[in-house]
Amino acid sequence: MTTNRFNQLGRLFILLAALLEFSPGARAESLASIFTNVAPAATTAIPRRASIIFIQCDGLGYGDLSCYGQTKFQTPNLDKLAADGIRFTSYYAGDAAASPSRAALMTGRDASHLRQRADVDIALAPDQINVAQLLKNSGYHTGLIGEWGLGDAPWTQGFDEFAGFIHSDEAQNYYSDYVWRYAPDALLNETENHASDYTGKEEIYPNTGGQRGEYIPDLFTFAAVSFVKNNQPDRFNHYRPFFLLVNYPTPRPDTTGTNSFPVPTDAPYSDENWPQPAKNRAAMITRLDGDIGRLLDQLKTIGMTNNVAIFFSSVSVPQKAGGFDPEFFQSNVSSNDLRVPMIVRWPDKINAGQVSNFKWSARDFLPTAAEIAFAKSPPAIDGVSILPTLLGGRLKPAGRVFENKPAPGQ
């Protein structure tokens, strides 16, 4: 099978949406209405479950967002997201390192309690239920865009769609000449007249031969916008909710020494009297803020402004690397503090304009997502649902410990 270009990603998502739209059930409903002039039988109304989006970047700290006190530059889209929901001041990454922190988010368990395979540092065991599997089994359509870094291919771990990097070392280049892609029923075999899954590497031709034509985080944003557009709950998919996890690799500094992390431009900070690594980082964060704005605009365009819960955070704290000193932006947070930004917006459910010092961490997302989906959390997890707190309750789990460990290089 000929490898498709990554810029065909939109067409793959559109084809998937078309297959859903013209499903046998949808055609039967249309025919019943047209040819018999009889409305489809009424069904008992049930609450429509909210879709869930978790946007996770890498290496973002408190001082990097103006809604958390940044004074050197502004992040208007994330500020607006915070103004429309809750900004937490005591949310903790799951671990000092990114991989165990991602695992804690996925499994609801502390990194020290995760079973690890011998051949990799962190990988989800086959029998460990994760949040994607839980939501998929509950009727959600699930997608992952960005960095995985937890072992086996994510489409074997509960994700219906995937575009990004399977292994963390693949994500060490913001101008990679490929990304992995999994799309079910995305290719039409005209000879045999059936749809086939697409699995493989999508070559990014503008980046071949060491060129820097396409900035990978920009492509992730394009994929996220396409996913939301083509999987919006509607009558063609029986108002099926979705779960989308977006793992941006930015704005972590370059620890490889290969200069493979540069942002396309340091504008609009080119003329600032700052160290060049600080200009680059500020430009990355400004670009990330714009990416969030594009995703929010898409939700508004398709009318998904209410029944979607959006979480935004960072998988890890900033590191002193690549010539960047976290103190340049992070003066209000100590170097051994695992606190990172956490913003949650869910209009009509979460009151806007809140600031909360409620203490929680990555391990609490799985049970929270399960309760949003009216699903049951798996047993023997460390996290607890904070949905009561999000909705205005006073949940105060007793005996919760949040260790402060220094991140590598600090």
Residue 190 is classified by DSSP as T
Does 113 score more than 80 pLDDT?
A: no
User: In this predicted structure, what is the pLDDT of residue 151?
Assistant: 85
Kindly report the pTM of this predicted structure: 0.84
User: In this predicted structure, what is the pLDDT of residue 335?
Assistant: 59
pLDDT tens-digit map of 376-396? 999 889 999 999 999 986 555
Structure tokens at 198: 């697409």
Contact 269, 283 (CB under 8 A): yes
- The ranges assigned to domains in the chain are 6-40+52-390
Strand partners, 5: 203
More confident: 262 or 316: 316
Going by pLDDT thresholds of 50, 70 and 90, the confidence category of residue 261 is low
Other residues' Cβ atoms within 10 Å of the Cβ of residue 291: 23
First to last CA, the chain: 47
Q: Any idea which residue has 């913003």 for tokens?
A: 343
pLDDT tens-digit map of 168-195? 888 888 999 999 999 887 777 777 777 8
User: In this predicted structure, what is the pLDDT of residue 334?
Assistant: 63
Read off the amino acid at residue 110.
Answer: D
Section 6-28 average pLDDT: 38
Going by pLDDT thresholds of 50, 70 and 90, the confidence category of residue 25 is very low
Calculate the dihedral angle through the C-alpha atoms of 317, 116, 380, 146, rounding to the nearest 10 degrees: 50
- The percent of residues in the chain predicted with pLDDT above 90, rounded, is 56
Does 303 score more than 50 pLDDT?
A: yes
List Cα–Cα distances, 262 to 205, 317, 336, in angstroms. 19, 19, 26
Contact 256, 322 (CB under 8 A): no
Section 105-125 average pLDDT: 70
Listing DSSP states for 282-327 in one string gives HHHHHHHHHHHHHHHHHHHHTT-SSSEEEEEEESS----BTTB-GG
Residue 166 half-sphere exposure toward CB, CA atoms < 13 A? 18
Does 360 score more than 80 pLDDT?
A: yes
* CATH fold for domain 6-40+52-390: Alkaline Phosphatase, subunit A (3.40.720)
- Pairwise CA distance, residues 356 & 101, whole Å: 22
pLDDT tens-digit map of 277-293? 899 999 999 999 999 99
Section 135-140 average pLDDT: 97
Does 41 score more than 80 pLDDT?
A: no
Cis peptide bond upstream of 268, omega within 30:
yes
Q: Cite the DSSP H helix spans in 69-195.
A: 76-83, 98-107, 131-137
Structure tokens at 119: 């051949």
Handedness of CA 14, 19, 25, 30 (dihedral sign): positive
